[in-house]
Structure 1
């Protein structure tokens, strides 16, 4: 099963990063909150990363971590193919 995760900006660019998941190679990266079956409650830490608790859970479950530059490259290539 294809299970990948990476840290991407909420709104693109260089903003605050949150955990994003991808469950199929042809699917876009989506915030972890779009996957209630995988997401767990965030830690109550001021300034903490959104998705950190989910990241830890999925890492232990064998999900693959993808560098954000590689994930962004994939997203750009997908958009070009659809155009």
Structure 2
């Protein structure tokens, strides 16, 4: 199955970085679309795990576990934890 998403779909929405030549964007997009859906999903999950790990490692260790969890939520979600 091939995705119908165009390589520069988000170029005018502020979600794309335009410092890469269009032909390079096309090469990257084409290479990604050659991967299976499972491979792309696993890549996304790996990126999410890396992001979570980086946020946890950036929090101070001198606080309680509850404070660290609140700080994690605040850092990752950009808002206070609703109680």
Taking structure 2 as the reference length, the TM-score comes to 0.28
Larger Rg: 2
Q: By percentage of residues, which structure has more helix?
A: 2
Structure with the larger RCO, 1 or 2 (CA within 8 Å, 6+ apart):
1
Q: By percentage of residues, which structure has more strand?
A: 1
